[in-house]
Structures are given as structure tokens and as C-alpha cells.
Amino acid sequence: MSQLRIRERGSSKLHKAKPAKTGGSVMEDPRESDLVVVVLGQTGAGKSTFINAVVGKTVASVGHELKSETQEVQHIFLEHPTVSPNHRVVLLDTPGFNDTSMEDTDLVARVSHWLKKYYKTTSNLAGVIYLLEITQAREEERCRKNLEKFAKSCGVEVKNTNIVFATTKWGETVQSIGERREQLLLTDLGGLMKPGSKIHRFGDTIESAMTIVGLVLENCVQSKKVIVTGPEPRKLAISVSDRPVDFSRRRRQSVHAKKRKSWKGPDLRNGDALMADPREGDLVIPIMGPTGVGKSTFINTLVGKTVASVGHGLQSHTAQLQHVVVNYGPNRSRVILLDTPGFDSTFADNSEILRRIAVWLAKSYSDNMRLAGLIYLHEISNIRMFGASRKDLEIFNKLCGKEATKTVVLATTKWGDVARPVGERRERQLKQIHWADMMKLGSTVLRFEDTQESAWAIVNHILESTKRRRNSVDAVQIQLEMVEVEKLLAETEAGRTLRYTLQELLDAQKRIAAQMRKEGGGGGGGNMWRELLLRENENKIRSTLNQIRALNVPLSRRIKAMFGL
């Protein structure tokens, strides 16, 4: 008989589940108030891993071979802060669909048999968590059929079943590919979800697992299936890195709080360029974009004199962050314009640039400075949205978070370098393709035309929008992650995205090196030239590896996260 200890997120009490020889684990004391949450998914989707994460220790065996591991229905008791102590949550681990040892019809029969054996009505079925492996494409139709089989076997209709979809194994895919599949799943499975629902992410942590269970239970509370007694159920602690998170409540609390958390995180280093005289209530406008897009030029044009150094050669010029203080309005409020280095700078690695930006933002948040908005500059003279530009924009989006995207101005630069009709056509393409999602979330597109008037039009738009928002957004996601949630940079969404991008780059560099070695041999000067190129590529590999190591989460942090410490 195994003892299952539920950690802080749920309860410190011990609960016991006795495995049966056949037909699943034995429920010794089923109760009318029990809430059963069934965990379903394809074989290998990570159901047992999910349950182990919920309880903070290994209670369900996990398979790593081609053969599936879970063969019988297993139940685990869990107390969850979303429901009152009068209710006991029963998590049901199930064999996987498309199993190597049984048919799908046999699987759903076992689950429904277990439910009917211990509970007289379907009212005890609180809901279903359906796990989808993000590394697998085209799961939608199979998922729909599996749920129909399950519902029919249990005597309920799919449309009346409380289903929460969650994706797994994000660490095994490239972030951008995973997000594209996530959008396809959302489109194809929308008919099985409540209006406005999302597909959530299981990030192999207790926080994300408990959050997903909480979503099922909260739906029960809303449908009045669960009687809530005593104080309002506590909200779950949400991990930003595990799923898209709405920080609006945390923001409202931080706006009205007298003081924010003091921050001196481990990512802070001696020599970092920080403000020497931060003031509570300062309005911060970071100016970001690829190297050479014209960030320093924008600031100089705005203030009417050279205050930020500008580069005109092939090398990037802004190595450290530079801030410029501008007085605004009748009250002479301080507006801080933050000039940031572009990614792919010639002075620093991308991981170091992200660290510098993140540290400055985290410290400014801790000093009670407020985000007014962000300006992201894009060079209209670029013929295409190059790969580096797309990746820069992706990291920028993760740094902001969805809630702060409404504060962003997407501004095009270098209109003097293109014919007007050509620039306008490229601007339409940016709006229709690359910036469409950001515009849906509230971002605005404006033009910087190398004039003080156009620069102030952009800044004025942000400041006037700040007044209308009434402080509903005062920080970007990476500030909340690093200060409020106390994450390392490597654990933030932006840090994780950059790490995946660097891993892709490393794989490409290794392929190039292998191809060059394969093509080696032969005499003459060509072989010497090839050796020089090979050494250069190996230097790039070492540089990329160092950047990836800088963004790795320390083992001690991963172990603590696993056990909810």
C-alpha cells in the first residue's frame, strides 16, 4: 500500500490508495461529495508525469520505452485550495489511447466501469483533463474521437462535459513550432471548449499541474456543482513559464500597493547600467528593436539634440543601456526613455543583452517606477522580415506578455530610404502578417519619419493612453516574473524563448561543421580556406554553447520546482 503525500499546494495530509489486482485501484470509501477528475490522453502524453507533479513525488510509474506503462486505472486523493474541505478530489490516472496493449474501446470501458463501480451517478465526474503532446502534429481529430468514446461510455455528452485541454513536453520542441501547433489545436478543438477558454500548458512543474487541476475544479464551482463553505477559495500560484498567464490581478494589486518587492536578484552584476536617481512614479518607455533600426536616432530627434550616441557603420553602437530623462506636461513629470542594445549586437551576446535589459526593467519596477508603454522600431527599408527580426520580435513579445502588449507602439523607421508606395506596401504586409496578433491585443502602428513631430506623436500616444488606462498596466511580464515571482532570467518566458532560438542556431552550426568536414580533403589553397571557415564556425559553436549555458536553469532550482519548494 503506497502513501501519497500532497504538498503545500494542496494539503499536508496523507492519503492512501490500494492497488487492485485487476480492474484498477480499489476505492475503499467512496463518498457522494467526491469530485473525480479523469486524466486522459494518448500513450506517452505524460499523464503519470502530470500526476507525479501534482503530488510532488513519484506515485505513478512513468514509461520511457515504446511500450506504455500505465495498464490499469489508478486513483489518487487530493485536497485542493479551489474547493472546500467538504469535498475530496480524486485524480484518475488512466491507460493511454492508442495503447500498445489494449484497444481504445477497452480503455474507456475500464474507466467507465471504475466510475460506475464506485459512484452511482455521473454527478461525481467533476471533469476531464486531456493532455496533448505538443511535439505531435495532427492530434485534433483523434482527440475528438477519444472524448466522444469516453463520454458515450460514461453515459454523458461531450458538449456537457467539463474538459480542460493541456499541452505537454514543451521542452522537446522549438517554442515557435509549439506555439503554432497550439494555435491549430485551439482552432480545431474550439467546439469542445467553453467560449473564451484557452489550451493550457503543463510545464513539468507542480505549479502548472495544480493550476490545471484548479481550472477543472473552478468550473465546478462556477456551475454550482461544488458547495463552497467558509472563506473564498484561494487562488493558485501561477507559474508564468508554464502557460500563458493573465497578470492583470497581480498588476492591480501592485499599482495600489505602497511599495513593491525589493529586488536584488542573482542576475544582477557589478557594472550594470542602472538609474542612479530613480523616483517613485517615474514613467518608463523602453525603446527596442533590432540593431541599426534607429533607436538612438529616435531619442536624439525627440529631444532635439544628441544625447544618445548613434552608429553609422556595420557595427552596432549601443552596447550598454542608456536612459534619457524628459520632462512632460504641466507638472513636469519625469519620462524615462530607455535606449536598449539590439539583439545580434557586435558588442555582446544575445543572452547578455537580454540579461541587461531584464535587470534594468526588474530594478526599475522594484524602485516603483511605472511602465508607460513600449516602442518597438522596425526598419521599413528592409525588403523582408528577416529571420533575426522575427526572432527579435518573438523575444520582445515574451518579454512584454499579452497584457502589456496593448501598451506597445510598433513604429516604422527610415522612410527616407524607400519610395513612398513601396514603404506603404511593406507597412500593409507588416500589419496583415507579422504584427496582426499584436494589433489584435491592442498594439498601435505609427511612423517615425525622422522628424521631432513624428517622434513626439509616438510618445504622446503612449502617455495619453496611460492616462486612459488608469494604471491598469504598469509593468511588463518579465518584471513581474523576476520581481514578484522571483524567477531567474532563465526561467522567464523571454529567457526560455531565447534558449530555444540559440539551440536551433547551435544545431544549424553543427550541421554546417559536419558538412564542411565531409567535404574536406584534397590539396591546394581551397583546403586552407576551408580550415579557416571551419575554425570560424567552431568559434561560433563555442559562443552559442556559452550563451545556452548562461540561460540554463540550475539543477538546484529545477529540483526545488519539482517539489514545490
Amino acid, res. 56: G
Tell me the torsion sign for CA atoms 438, 403, 176, 545: positive
251 has a pLDDT exceeding 90: no
Task: Compute the average pLDDT of residues 185-193.
Answer: 78
The domains of the chain are located at 2-222, 248-484, 495-562
Q: What is the pLDDT of residue 470?
A: 59
High-pLDDT (> 70) share of the chain, %? 75
313 has a pLDDT exceeding 80: no
The CATH T-level fold of domain 248-484 is Rossmann fold (3.40.50)
Residue whose C-alpha cell reads 511588463 in the numeric block: 476
Q: What angle do CA 165, 161, 125 make, to 5 degrees?
A: 100
Torsion over CA of 395, 240, 489 and 289, rounded to 10 degrees?
Answer: 20
- Residues 560 and 565: their CA atoms lie apart, in Å, by 5
Task: Compute the average pLDDT of residues 216-222.
Answer: 72
* Of 86, 170, 104, 109, the residue nearest 143 (C-alpha): 104
Task: Compute the average pLDDT of residues 380-384.
Answer: 80
Do 2-222 and 248-484 come out as alike in CATH topology?
A: yes
- Residues 389 and 398: their CA atoms lie apart, in Å, by 14
453 has a pLDDT exceeding 90: yes
In tens, the pLDDT along 42-77 reads 877 888 888 888 877 665 554 433 234 456 788 888
Q: What is the pLDDT of residue 451?
A: 96
Which class is 2-222 in CATH? Answer: alpha beta
C-alpha cell belonging to residue 353? 543583452
- Residues 19 and 2: their CA atoms lie apart, in Å, by 9
The pTM of the full predicted model, rounded to 2 decimals, is 0.54
